[in-house]
Amino acid sequence: MSDLLAISGARIFDGHAWHDDAALLAEFGYVTGISSADAVPDKARRVVLDGGMIVPGFVDLQVNGGGGVLFNNDPSLDAIRTICAAHAQFGTTALLPTLITDTVQVNVAAIAAGVAAYRERVPGFIGLHLEGPHLSVARKGTHDPALIRPMDDADMARIIAAKDLVPNLICTVAAETVTPDQIAKLTAAGIVVSIGHSDASYDVASRAFDAGASMATHLFNAMSQLGNREPGVAGAVLDRPSVFAGLIADGIHVHPATIGAALRAKRGPGRIFLVTDAMSQTGTDLVSFTLNGRTITRSEGALRTADGTLAGADLDMIDAVNFMVDRIGLELDEAIRMASLYPAEAMDLASTHGHLMASASASFVHLSDDRQVRATWVDGVEVFRA
C-alpha cells in the first residue's frame, strides 16, 4: 500500500488561505502539498470526506488533564496517553501536559513521565508546561500557597536538565519571585519562560521580558491588571511586541468585551493564542475531582473550589474556537489561527505545526459545516472519529 495519503471532499484551510475542490496530500507523517482534487496521484490512498472543512490541528500549551486524569494526581506515562487521547476528540493534535504547583517529588515524576512520553512518541505529546511553584501568593488562584516558594539552584538545575530530555518546555513564573538573571539562564537553555500568577508592576514585568521571558500565562487571570497609572503585568503583556499570551476563551475567565479590547490593543508580532487550561473532566461526565486535597466542582460551565475560586477551565479547544467566532465576532480563519498557528509560533514550532503547508506535520482536523469535530489525524494517522 502506498504511503501517500490524499484527503479530499472538504474545504481545506492551510493556515493562511482556503482551498476548494482540493486534496490534502501527506506522506510519512508530513504534508507534501495541496493539489486540485482531480490531480491526485494514482498511487495515493484516498480518503473522501462528505463535506465540511479540513483545518490545522489545534495546539494547546496549557492542559492540566483530560479523560478523567489530572496530571498532578497521576504524573505518569499512562496519564499523558489518556490526556492526549481525550483532547484529540476536540481537535487538539499537539499539547503540553501541565503540572501546577506541587512538591519536588511530583515535579520529578512529571518530568520523568514527559521523558517517557517523548521516547514512546505518544501521539499529540510535544513537551511539558511547569506552572509553578515559583509564583506570587498574592495571585495564587487555585495553587496551594503552602507549596509556592522561590526558585533555588536545585530547581534551576532540574528544569534545565528537563529541557535536555523533552523537546519543548514552558516554565510559568511570577516576575517578582524569579530574578531576571534566573530568567536569562532558563531562556538560554531553550526554555520558554512565561509570566503568570504574578502581582508585579509594569516595570518589574518589563524587566522579566527584557531578560528573555516571551509569554504570559492565561492573560488577565491571576495577574496584576491594567490600570490608568499602573499598567501591571496585563499592560506589559499587551504593550510588549515580542510577547505571546495564552487566553482562556470561555466568557467566564475573561469578559468578552475585555477579550475584544485586548485583541485590538495587542502589539505584535507576539500574538494572543487560545489555551483550554482543561482539567480531568474533559471528555468525561465527571462533576467533581480533587486537586491537592481540595474538591473541585464542575457546574454551569466552570470549575471551582468550595470558596468559588476558578480552578482551571471546563473548556475544550473547539469550543474555544467557536466562542471566538460566535461571541467575539472573529472570522473563522483567525479563530483557527489562534488555536493552531499562533501557539506554534509562540513555541517556535511554526515550521512544522499550526498550518498545512508543505513539510508541516500532517496533523489536522475534519470539522463539520457547523464547526464540530468529526475526525482528527496526528502525523498522518487518524486518532479519533466521531
277 belongs to the catalytic site: yes
Catalytic residue among 155, 277, 314, 379: 277
Cell match 502581582: residue?
A: 199
What does the alpha-carbon distance between residue 187 and residue 180 come to, in Å, rounded to a whole number? Answer: 10
Answer whether 20's CB lies under 8 Å from 61's CB.
no
Q: Which residues of 23-50 are buried (b: 16+ CB within 10 A; e: fewer)?
A: bbbbbeebbbebbebeebeeebeebeee
What CA–CA distance (Å, rounded) separates 5 from 30? 10
What are residue 193's DSSP bridge partners?
Answer: 171
Among the residues of the chain, which ranges form H helices? Answer: 77-88, 104-119, 153-163, 180-188, 202-211, 232-239, 256-265, 317-326, 332-339, 341-346
d(CA 87, CA 94): 9
What would the grid cell of residue 2 be? 502506498
For the annotated catalytic residues, the residue numbers are 277
